[in-house]
Amino acid sequence: MTKRHVSLPADAEDGLGAFIEEVDSRLSGEEDTCAVVEDVLVDLHGDRRAYERWQAGADVSAAERVRLQGYDPCNATLESEYYAEKDEEAFERSKHLQWLWRQFDATPMADNVEFALRFRRMLADHLFAECGDGCRFFKGITFTYGHNISVGDNVVVHDEVHLDDRGTLSIGDRVSVSDGVHVYSHDHDIVDQTEVDNYRTIVEDDVRITFDAMIRAGCRVGENSIVGARSVVQSDVPAHHVVVGQPATSVRIKPGWEDAAEPLDGDHPDGRAGRRLEYDLPEDLEQFDEFQRDLRPPAGR
């Protein structure tokens, strides 16, 4: 094994445990989530004195006001807020929790690994559809919503990973996701990029997705497989295979798993099309075209 157990000093452990338990209890209770997030962020950023002065009506500069207002997630927007097909009720709470996750990562405490892993793991219980035991989430992880993600036991997600759950994303047990990985569950039309298809993307048990790889929306990454560094997975990955390249192709079977795996040169079925998710847009939706393009092909000569 290449890891060892690390523990905090007793006083630090007591403080950490008490804080996480308090935030967990408040998020599990009947308090307004937005208010809980604002209160926690004010203290994590060490701004309680300035915040109370502002709340009491004292004069603050324009910059101070923007900073203090920004602790309230209701005063912020996220990119996913603009997505027309989102579940508005689910998004309202997940937005607040996402804001807490992201703004926690902007504090010095986010670099205290033991504290940060346990804090994010607690938040995952509130944000994700499901989160198993023993999961470890490192710094800079982003989501589309959060509430369409299911994660199994003993999953590790490293720094600067994007987990897109505009569709749905399922991650199995004992999965390792390395730094810089992007896993998608939505795709854009090749002609009109404002046309979006959402998918179920599935990463099965014991998968390793290594540095800077990308998984396309709707793909199934089969159990015990490995996606090589900077690979681009465009179709299903067979169980126990090692895939590399752009687009990723199978180059070997993990040693010892030859009898359980599909042959390397076999016809590997791709079920991506069957994982497309239908959705309806609100009838009263006011759409806007951010590109203002004329998508008609040029007239023939």
Note the pLDDT of residue 1.
61
Whether the predicted model's global pTM rises above the 0.85 cut: yes
DSSP labels, 60-88: --HHHHHHHHTTSGGG---GGGG-TTS-H
Q: pLDDT below 70 — which residues of the chain? A: 1, 300-301
What is the chain's alpha carbon radius of gyration, rounded to the nearest angstrom? 22
* Residue that the structure tokens 């997600």 belong to: 157
Residue 150 CA, chain-centre distance (Å), reads 10
H/E run at residue 151: strand 149-151
Note the pLDDT of residue 298.
81
